[in-house]
Structure 1
Amino acid sequence: MEHMHTNALILIAEDEPEIVDILKAYLHREGLRTVWATDGRTALELHLSLRPDLLLLDVQMPQLDGWQVLAELRRRGNTPVIMVTAHDQDLDKLTALRIGADDYVVKPFNPAEVAARVRAVLRRTQCQDESSTPVLRIGTLEIDLEAFRASVRQGEHLHSLPLTLTEFRLLAHMARAPRRVFSRGELIHACLSTESEVLERTIDSHISKLRKKLEDAGLPGIPLSLRGVGYRLEDIA
């Protein structure tokens, strides 16, 4: 599968040339192409014209900051984004994941680690985009999108999860971006009927039942609840 990511185009949105030079060197070493935007507005323009495979997006930039750029990118589609923040603050990390980032790194960073994270995000997102494989696999969890069936692999055995349709929709929706935090409102809009008014506590009830079924299958503690923010599926071993 490694050939899938060779020659992928990475848009680096960063206003510090020294950092860009280091990132370029390590990404080129991985066989990846790069293009550079010095401000948020240029990053959005290059995204439209070049259709990069992934963005490395700094939070603090001229014109438009990283949060504004990320919000616009998510209105446009699902281009993978790794946020780069200068602050090792939980709020920054949660904000990045809540708005729709696929990952984040904190300055000062190890450029080799950044390159590895780029590879990992490309691998995950490009595999999910393959129309010939409508199965999401996250650790031992397997979700068949066509058969509406979710299973947990236990050795050679697949343990089928007895999910309701709503529980399956919630699980599949979060599994497409397991590190992202989904707000209750977003989950309501994406997974529940919009014909009637749905209270946010209804999502809590569905998630609670889903969590119990995953726990019974050997996957305790997921989805993870983030108070005041929403839910995240988390990485599954």
Structure 2
Amino acid sequence: MTLTSTGISARVLVIEDEPDLLDALVDYLNMEGMQAYGVKNLSDAQTWMILNNFDILLLDLGLPDGDGLNWLKKRQDLRNKGVIITTARSDSLSRISGIRAGADVYLVKPVLPEEIVSLVHNLMRRLRGQAVSVWKLDETGWRLLAPDGRPLKLTHSEHVLLQRLAQSSGQAVSKEALATSLGHNPEHYDFRRLEILIRRLRNKAKDTWDLTLPLETAHRLGYAFTAPIELG
């Protein structure tokens, strides 16, 4: 079984618009002991990535709702993931562009699933050797510590919000649940207040650290803290 440093099997997200190929790849990777999931377009991938953690991305480039290469170039949050491109584009310019965009491997279809499994093993060995960037929520001092240790002073509401999100790190927490944590009745709460609180917290992190806070909006669901975070 392919394992991460925490003993969890390698989690692989496959973005592929050919249904038969998508199903075959996901089934094969799961048979090899991995946790593989498949989506057919970039929009579904975006939603899935907000709600779930993963280690390796297997990305097709020609997708129905956009170009996978252009999408990859904009995803700075994938720098700590393993990225394998699988595509019919065999020209040298596309290969170079793919690597420059952040791909670890560029494969031209058709690709043997056995080759993909071997590459996942190789990438997981590299990922296991990297330090995990962990955020820390100081519950006594009402501070959020960035992975490099720099502190951000929090208001009471910001602290309560992050505390609730940290309890479900990597998963979306509904707006109703967050309102309840903040001491309000969701039936009478103006959720624009929550949006303002989230926006101010993001801006504070950007102004203080020049970092983008990994606090993502899950469309029609709520919010999620998408990076590892410890309570202490």
TM-score (norm 1): 0.50
Q: State the alpha-carbon separation in 1 of the partners of residues 114 and 8 from structure 2.
A: 17
Question: Does 2:127 correspond to 1:125?
Answer: yes
Say which SS state the counterpart of residue 129 (structure 1) adopts.
coil
Tell me how far apart the structure 2 counterparts of residues 19 and 86 of structure 1 sit (CA, whole Å). 13
- Structure 1 segment 212-223 matched on structure 2, within 5 A: none
The alignment partner of 1:70 has SS state of helix
How many residues align? The count is 131
Are the aligned partners of 1:105 and 1:114 in contact in 2 as well (CA < 8 Å)? no
Equivalent in the alignment of 1:69: 71
CA distance in 1, matches of 2:104, 2:19: 24
User: 1:50 corresponds to which residue?
Assistant: 52
CA distance in 2, matches of 1:94, 1:81: 14
The runs of at least 4 consecutive aligned structure 1 residues that moved more than 6 Å come to none
Shift of 1:69: 2.4
Structure 2 residue aligned with 1:83: 85
Contact 1:6 1:32 in 2 (8 A): no
- Which stretch shows the higher mean deviation, 85-94 or 52-61? 85-94
Indicate how the Cα distance of structure 1 residues 124 and 112 shifts in structure 2: closer, same or farther if over 3 A, else same: same
Kept in 2, the 8 Å contact 1:9–1:32? The answer is yes
Q: Flag structure 2 segments of 5+ consecutive residues without an equivalent.
A: 134-232
Residue 85 of structure 1 contacts residue 92 of structure 1 at CA under 8 Å; is this kept in 2?
no
Relative to structure 1, is the Cα distance of residues 73 and 80 closer, same or farther in structure 2, using a 3 angstrom cutoff?
farther
AA aligned opposite 1:129? A
Answer yes or no: is the 8 Å Cα contact 1:11–1:34 preserved in 2: yes
Alignment CA distance shift 1:52-1:81 (3 Å)? same
What is the match of residue 227 of structure 2?
A: none
Give 5+ residue unaligned stretches, structure 1.
132-237
Residue in structure 2 matched with residue 164 of structure 1 by the alignment:
none
Match of 2:113 in 1: 111
Alignment match, 1:93: 95
Q: Which amino acid counterpart does residue 112 of structure 1 have in structure 2? A: E
Query: Aligned AA for 1:94?
Result: I
Does residue 15 of structure 2 align to residue 13 of structure 1?
A: yes
Question: What is the alpha-carbon root mean square deviation over aligned residues?
Answer: 2.2
Q: Percent identity?
A: 34
Q: Which amino acid aligns with 1:74?
A: Q
